[in-house]
Structure 1
Amino acid sequence: MLNSKLKPQAKINVHKFGGSSLANAECVKRVVSIIKQHASLDDLIVVSANGNTTDCLYALFACTDNDSFEQALSTLRNTQQQLIKELIEGDSADLLVNYLDQNLQFIRQQFQQQSLELNRNDVLALGEVWSAKLLAALLEQQVCPANAIDARNVLLLETNNNFAVAEQQSRTQLLQERRQGALNILTGFIATDTEGKTQTLGRNGSDYSATIAAHLLNAENVTLWTDVDGVYSADPRIVTTARKLHRIESDVAKELGRLGNPILHANTLKPLASNSIHLKVASSYQPDQNGSEIGHFGEIAKGEISVTHNNELVKISCEQFNDVELQVIKNRFAPLYICQDKSCVVITPQFTDIAEQYLQGQNLKYKTEQVSLLAVVGHKIAERGDIKARFNRVLDKAQPLVITQSDEGHSFLAFFAQQCSVELVNKVHSQVTQDSKTIGLVIAGLGNIGQRFLEMLPTQLARVLALENAHLVGLATSKRALIDTDGIVASNALDLFTEQSVDYDNQQLVSWLSHHPYDELVLVDITPSEDFSALYQDLFKQGIHVVSANKCAGSSSSDNYQQLLDLQRQFSCRWLVNTTVGAGLPINYAINDLLQSGDSINEISGIFSGTLSWLFANFDGSQSFSKLLTSALEQGYTEPDPRDDLSGLDVQRKLLILARLAGFKLELEDIECQNLVPEQLRNVSKQEFLVNAALLDQYFADKLEAAQQQSSCLRYVARFSKDGDKYKAVVSLETLSETHPFANLTPCDNIFSITSDWYQDNPLIIRGPGAGRDVTAGGLHSDLVNLCKELAVQKKQVELKGIN
């Protein structure tokens, strides 16, 4: 019954599951599924008490008579017994129920002997013990051997050293308690001190237990599975525009924890520093969603800014403070702020009682008052004058007691005599973060146009405001890729690609893209590859946006095309394809605008190939068609194999794309296509085709002569038209009057004619360069800028299951 993924591995990972993640039988089953998918046999699982068990235990201490106590105890038993009944089978269930009843009898005896309060921590510890035993029994029955460990037998706190962890003894005891060949489940929240008394680790205590254990075991990663999917740029319960911070610098996370972030806690992060252990916060309700990672990252992550607030702080004022007393306060009570003249400190409520006891013991006269905090946090934010100016400006009328910065320079702090209002927190968040998103940019295809796109990118990033938070993070050709989550310097991208790219396949690329650490990811497809376009379905399923010059997806089968559109809508992706037809010309925008405005398109026609436009604009009989074709090839006007242009397939695909954008359902085969390559030259090598290109000459010479006799010219034209429920679509060589709008084009120009209900007698004409590296790369940049503008104003719904 051992799951194939639950096998030993070299590095240990620690997974912690909070009370809300274990709230009921359904949640516990979900946790088992996560363990099966994400854990190995050597990993350590740390658990909190199930659901509201700890609250039920606390309720026992409030009971003043036997009836209320027995009722509270009965509620507790029923809840635990129900969990066991729903999850565990056979003798294992009986053993758990018997153990539960023994513990409840102990609690009853303490209440009857009026010593319940004296054993408070022992009683509170039972919630975690029950949770660990329950999960271990379930894993044993369904997945693999499992072993529940009571942390009171493992974690030792030094009574005379502010309850610091006794590392060596704790490590030895943990290694002794771990059972080889089994998945070990450790209780969070609880420990034992050197006097043998049970101690609890306070708020977020199970998180702290997890990171302590990770430190003792030299683990590689710690994942905190909780009820939210990460750490946000503000409390998402009150700031609806809060963004998930996908990557947080360790020093920033410590500062957030110090200031009271509801997810991170200062103690949680302490054990990680010396071992460089990676920390991740993820949602047990949405395990496939990328969470927040805490560690050491590059400049993109360091640029993140968040806002935190705390309305439950205490200011202690005392004119008699000296340096010795302030040092004790620093060491023992972790003050958030010490005023410049050393006459006051601000601390969290958890330290208030013991701080007052200390001050009274020193015979100091002091006073306390409630204060609140509003802070902006970011890596070395003190060096960001623009952020400081915005913070000061938005607080101008809020009347803070003081505005300062932290000693390490990672936060600006404002303290208030009154509570911070929801409106003020939202206002500060909006002004200092400007609701900015990190947008990762991956470019696939580094040919002629791809290289030009990259050449233009540094200037675009510097001067276009919409690209302020866009970062180049990936480059790919058909065989090699360079992915760097910390960002790739755009001005040096091609050199870095040459030096650092590695072989890859498409599935490896999709795997990385599906775990990207950005708010949004945009892939720019500048390949002609049908295989690469086949990845679009996977990309859309991961919420990845696509800017495409690749015509293959838009001209694929109707079933595939419709599925792409459905996935795009389902997963809220954007797919911009302006450069698939007409390079940078706004033909797609025109069609979309007409349809969205209520118009109906009846006909689309034009010259869609820059190559064929150049050939027939210059074919006047002064030289043979084959020589003109060779000249076009040498000047780079054609594809490497000119038959790709002469076959008409490119024009056929473009007409299909435009007809579909106009709302019509048809296949590529529904468009008649005249192939200009003689049949005997279609299946030979490129070299053989070029040697025998003169076989083209007589056909085109005859066509030209016939056209000139009619004062006309040759043009390769695409036409789509509807008549009632029927339509006709064809791409072919046509003879046109020299006065026809399609006749007088600058070589390489495209022209598009749209006839609609609104444009009947006088069609809408769009004309201009339809090929070339500059205009095509420019069209891609246009799509990218418009997409980034859209993404900047889009808000993703934050799903909250409740924050502990």
Structure 2
Amino acid sequence: MKILKFGGTSVANAQNILLVENIIKKESSKGKIVVTVSALHGVTDQLIHAAEYASAQDENYLQILKNLEEKHLYLVKELIPILEQSSWLSFVKKHFNDIEDLHSGIFALGELTNRVKDKIASYGEFLSSNLIVARLQYEGLDCLWMNTADLIKTDSNFTNAKVNIDITEKNIRQYLSHHKNQIIIAPGFIAQDEKNNPTTLGRGGSDYTASIIAAAIQAEELQIWTDVSGMMTADPRLVSRAKSILEISYHEAMELSHFGAKVLYPPSIQPVMSKNINLKIKNTFAPEDEGTLVSHQLPDSEKEQQQVAVGISNMNNIALLTLEGSGMVGIPGISAKLFQGFSQGEINVILITQGSSEHSITIAINEKDVLAAENIINSYFADDIDLKRVSPAKIETGLSIVAIVGENMKNRSGVSAKMFGCLGNNGINIRAIAQGSSERNISVVISEKDTRKAVNVLHEEFFESEIKQVHLYICGTGNVGSKLIQQIYAQNQYLKENLFINLRIAGLSNSRKMIFSDHGISEKEYIDWNENGQEASVRNFADEIISRNLRNSVFVDITASSEVPKIYESLLKRSINIVACNKIAASSDFDTYKKLKNTARNHNCNFYFETNVGAGLPVIGTINDLIKSGDQITSMQAVLSGTLNFVFNNYDGSRTFSEVVAQAQQEGYTEPDPRLDLSGTDVARKILILARESGYPLQFEEIENISFLPEECMQGSVENFYEQLTKYEDHFKALLLSAQKEDKILKYTAEFKEGKAKVGLQHVAPGSDLFHLYGKDNIVIFKTLRYSEQPLVVKGAGAGAEVTASGVFADIMRSI
């Protein structure tokens, strides 16, 4: 015999009940079944709300009861043919008259006892089960209504009665042995005490009813029919890629249920668990889905083939209470005293952790119990607090518990490290940790605002290793930024198929507009994003990134703005990786540069700025590799401006210097203001960054900058700058001729040696490594302790939107 249970959503309306009818028909064709049903969705809560209104002498209870009555009358009209409706309409009206009488009594007394509350609550299942029987009998099925309240006997702890299992199982076995109907329909949740007063079985009571019946007759299987296709690897409202769990052990199911998985309630599993009866969780609205099988523990040989964890669960509205003090060390009975107080105060302890020093003990409870728990602690330990042996209870609220569950965790090493590592790398601070000796559950307490992020991070780490979701926030959508975005769209399919990485552009911003999408801005949406975006500001962009709190986040700065680097620190402190094409942060005051590097290190994230020097060339990466391997850089000689190299390679006197600079700007090699390039400021910043990455605490002011531009060129607007270039053409031609007289060429170089740096225009001879440098190419010549005679040379294109974007792209990939 199989036992089937249908929850409130499964019997919410006539349409759903017809789905239930089809399932019952199919299952009963295979053998005798017992079906336990809940009240129509929301009915029990509404009955209790009406009673609470009545006890407050608020006549709004009458409207609630009227709505509930109409709901049940409408159900009769939908399920039962017109000619047979009369008796069932009368049935509903009669019982709602009784319900109204009860509420009228509550209204008159202004009091609602738990005993009366149970009486009222029992009507929901009573009505739904009878109406389903009426429908099935009309369909010609061999169906009988079984009053579980007559069979399930409990104590008189109203609203959460304890079942007398021995008597109850005997009653159920006798009843089912005497009634041979193919289908037995039974209301869940309701029972009676020894004096036949109505009682209810508390949270998850209908599941519990079905489980008790299944255990009493040693059923073949218990089926729980609900609105999801079994237990999930995580809450699908938080994790879009959550999967159904095909098979899970009783213990695993109980752990997941305890920490928030709403499909099952732990007490409902206990009766079938004790009898080794398989439990199947199925979807009423997708009956062909396989669902989840909850069964006995798998043999060790089969466990080895399973993944480490079966699911992730979470529980919100958690508070931490900490009791600490030197008077607790080595003193027996402290925990017993604490739990005795909580027991008497009826406060449930969800999680407990204690350090080996015994100096403190921390417990997690529901937030609603905080004040009561604090009073209990401070009362029970009043003498110790007065004598300073124990401190008053410390309270933290706004927390959540996230638990990862799996029988197989005890057979694998490194599970905790994997869990804590991925949380830490995403800036999720752990407030408390608990792991049972069974090793099937590792629980952490975190800030509630981090719950979604934490569950997604863990789900990705343990269940979605094939695809890692990365969220990019790109600030700056000009020439380089637009090229980067195009490269990401073009390359993403390859990344997914070969590296199992999915890059989502979760936010875009320029100086005017910004736009966000947690699921990624599609290529189609990108085309006209400027029209749909909201007004932008650097601070608001950062605040939105932080508030969204998405896992694996990378902020990409492709601007020349001095404002954008001001938000770096706040982002790094939230473990958001930063990739910067912008040179301002790394070339700012040395203490600021160092602080940003340390902040990234301290918060387990990355701060990469390879494209600050040499566009896509691996210059900074080369320095880092040399330093990590124990080498020391003694000197550097470089051409670091693709713009200046382009200008001096193309300036041969046949065109004016102004025309060549204009060409460089038109082709995208210069900054928006070319003076940043031609003044040597940009080159000075680059050699400064290279010196710092090499381990030298250099400041920008210490760099010697030998300018070749007349002072007037640096004044006024960009338009004025070009006018001055034309005016001083003879000056630039003289520079060119002086080099040509020596059979040399002009190169704007940067040098670093003996802790000092300088930049300026030089005459370069044909024998120099700097001579054969064409177009927009850059070169860096390193001399180190290892490369002392034959230098290490990095050379290639050092400017251009395409190569710079590819360098930023490479940094993004390194950062994740």
Q: Pick the TM interval, shorter chain.
A: 0.5 to 0.7
Which of 733, 757, 778 lines up with 1:701 in the alignment? 733
Per-residue deviation, 1:370: 11
Matched residues in 1 for 2:181 and 2:798: separation? 78
CA distance in 2, matches of 1:476, 1:165: 52
Structure 1 residue 417 corresponds to structure 2 residue 296: yes
CA distance in 2, matches of 1:593, 1:671: 25
Candidates 458, 461, 464, aligned match of 2:489? 458
Q: Which has the higher contact order (CA 8 A, sep 6+)?
A: 1
Structure 1 residues 460 and 175: CA distance shift in structure 2, 3 A? farther
Q: Which residue of 1 aligns with 2:418?
A: none
**Is 1:492 matched with 2:525?**
yes
Q: How far did 1:321 drift?
A: 9.1
RMSD (CA atoms): 4.5
Matched, 1:479 2:530: no
- Counterpart of 1:638 in 2: which secondary structure? coil
8 Å CA contact 2:637, 2:782 repeated in 1: yes
| Alignment match of 1:166 (pick from 29, 44, 48) | 48
C-alpha distance in 1 between matches for 2:541 and 2:116: 45
Give the conservation status (yes or no) of the 8 Å contact 1:438–1:469: yes
- 1:368: how far off? 8.0
Q: Map residues 276-675 of structure 1 onto 2, 5 A cutoff.
A: 324-325=183-184, 328=186, 354-355=209-210, 365-367=217-219, 375-376=232-233, 379=236, 406-408=283-285, 412-418=291-297, 424=306, 426=308, 432-434=463-465, 438-465=469-496, 466=499, 468-495=501-528, 497-675=529-707
Between the aligned partners of 2:699 and 2:710, the Cα distance in structure 1 is 25
CA spacing shift, 1:768–1:163, aligned 2, 3 Å: closer
User: What corresponds to 1:777 in structure 2?
Assistant: 805
Equivalent AA in structure 2 for residue 629 of structure 1: V
- TM-score (norm. length: structure 2): 0.51
> Any idea what the Cα deviations from partners look like across 1:458-481, whole Å, max 9, x if unmatched?
222221135634322111112321
Cα distance change, pair 448–163 in 1 and its aligned pair in 2 (3 A)? closer
Task: Specify the SS of the correspondent of 1:455.
Answer: helix
**Separation in structure 2 between the aligned mates of residue 508 and residue 201 of structure 1, nearest angstrom:** 51
Aligned residues: 476
Instruction: Tell me the equivalent position of 1:766.
Output: 794
| Cα displacement (A) at 1:571 | 1.7
Asked if structure 1 preserves the Cα contact closer than 8 Å seen for 2:223 and 2:281, the reply is no
Given residue 777 of structure 2, which amino acid in structure 1 is its aligned partner? D
Deviations 1:229-278 (A, max 9, x none): xxxxxxxxxxxxxxxxxxxxxxxxxxxxxxxxxxxxxx9xxxxxxxxxxx
User: 1:611 touches 1:638 (CA, 8 Å); kept in 2?
Assistant: yes
**CA–CA distance in structure 1, aligned partners of residues 673 and 211 of structure 2:** 85
Q: Distance in 1 between matches of 2:214 and 2:292?
A: 26
Output the CA distance in 1 between the equivalents of 2:797 and 2:766: 20
Indicate conservation of the 8 Å contact 1:377/1:412, yes or no: no
Q: Go from structure 1 to structure 2 and tell me whether the alpha carbon gap of 1:359 and 1:480 turns closer, same or farther (over 3 Å shift).
A: closer
Following TM superposition, by how much is the alpha carbon of 1:415 offset from its aligned partner in structure 2, in angstroms? 3.0
Structure 2 residue identity aligned to 1:170: E
Report SS of the residue matched to 1:418. Answer: coil
Moved more, 408-417 or 589-598: 408-417
SS in 2 for 1:622: coil
Alpha-carbon distance change, 378 to 742 in structure 1, aligned in 2, over 3 angstroms: same
The CA distance in 2 between the partners of 1:401 and 1:348, in whole Å, is 22
Q: Compute the displacement of 1:599 (Å).
A: 0.7
In structure 1, the residue matched to 2:114 is 198
User: Displacement of 1:779 after TM fit?
Assistant: 1.0
Between the aligned partners of 1:471 and 1:605, the Cα distance in structure 2 is 39
- What amino acid is the match of 2:495? V
TM superposition shift of 1:487: 3.1
Distance 1:720 1:414, change over 3 A: farther
Matched position secondary structure for 1:782: helix
1:602 is paired with a residue whose SS is strand
Residue in 1 that maps onto 2:435: none
Deviation at 1:732, TM superposition (A): 0.4
Query: For residues 637 and 420 of structure 1, do their structure 2 counterparts lie closer, same or farther at Cα, with a shift above 3 Å needed?
Result: same
Matched with 1:679 is: 711
For the structure 1 residues 427 and 737, does the alpha-carbon distance in structure 2 shift closer, same or farther, using more than 3 Å as the test? same
Tell me: CA distance 1:431–1:556, structure 2 relative to 1, closer, same or farther (3 Å).
closer
Q: Distance in 1 between matches of 2:116 and 2:700?
A: 69
2:548 is matched by which residue type in structure 1?
Answer: H
Name the structure 1 match of 2:152: none
The TM-score normalised by the length of structure 1 is: 0.52
1:471 and 1:602 map into 2 onto residues whose CA distance is 42
Q: Is the 8 A contact 1:391 1:432 kept in 2?
A: no
Does the CA contact (< 8 Å) of 1:611 and 1:748 recur in 2?
yes
Contact 1:374–1:425 (CA under 8 A) maintained in structure 2? no
Letter in 1 for 2:749: V
Report % sequence identity: 28
SS at match of 1:786: helix
Q: Distance in 2 between matches of 1:520 and 1:411?
A: 33
Q: Is the 8 A contact 1:475 1:482 kept in 2?
A: yes
CA contact 1:555–1:668 (8 Å) conserved in 2: yes
Deviation of residue 165 (structure 1)?
4.1
Q: Which runs of 5 or more structure 2 residues have no equivalent in the other structure?
A: 1-38, 60-102, 119-158, 160-171, 191-201, 225-229, 250-275, 312-460
Check whether the contact 1:633–1:639 (CA below 8 A) recurs between aligned residues: yes
Shift of 1:403: 8.6
Q: Which residue of 2 aligns with 1:756?
A: 784
Query: In the aligned structure 1, how far is the partner of 2:795 from the partner of 2:117?
Result: 72
Q: Distance in 2 between matches of 1:539 and 1:752?
A: 32
Following the alignment from structure 1 to structure 2, what is the Cα–Cα distance between the partners of residues 527 and 166? 60
Distance in 2, Cα, partners of 1:359 & 1:572: 51
Query: Structure 1 residues 686, 649: closer, same or farther in 2, change over 3 A?
Result: same
Whole-Å Cα distance in 1 between the matches of residues 508 and 601 of structure 2?
26
Are the equivalent residues in 2 in contact too, given 1:472–1:490 (CA < 8 A)?
Answer: no
State yes or no: 1:714 paired with 2:746. Answer: yes
Structure 2 CA distance for aligned equivalents of residues 374 and 607 of structure 1: 62
Q: Deviations over 1:527-564 (max 9, x none)?
A: 11011111111111222111110000000001211221
Q: CA deviation at 1:592?
A: 0.7
Corresponding residue SS for 1:692: helix
Taking the aligned partners of 2:57 and 2:792, their CA distance within structure 1 comes to: 78
Structure 1 stretches lacking a partner, 5+ long = 1-156, 178-191, 203-266, 268-315, 334-346, 789-804
Work out whether 1:746 is the aligned partner of 2:774: yes
Report the CA distance between 1:420 and its aligned residue.
9.2
| Matching residue of 1:342 | none
Alpha-carbon distance in 2 for matches of 1:619, 1:676:
14
| Equivalent in the alignment of 1:114 | none
Change (3 A) 1:323 1:606: farther
| Rg comparison, structure with higher value | 2
Distance 2:113 2:248 in 1: 52
Higher mean C-alpha displacement, 566-575 vs 463-472? 463-472
The alpha carbon displacement at 1:671 in A equals 0.8
Can you list the C-alpha shifts for 1:589-618, whole angstroms capped at 9, x where unaligned?
A: 111111111111111221111110111112
The answer (yes or no) to whether the contact 1:443–1:476 under 8 Å persists in 2 is yes
Q: Distance in 2 between matches of 1:520 and 1:200?
A: 53
Alpha-carbon distance in structure 1 between the residues aligned to 2:519 and 2:182: 43
For 1:424-453, what per-residue CA distance to the aligned partner results, in whole angstroms no more than 9, with x for missing partners?
Answer: 562556774328654321110011111111
Decide whether aligned partners of structure 1 residues 405 and 552 sit closer, same or farther in structure 2, where only a CA change above 3 A counts: farther
CA deviation digits over 1:555-582, x for unaligned, max 9? 0001211221222122222111111111
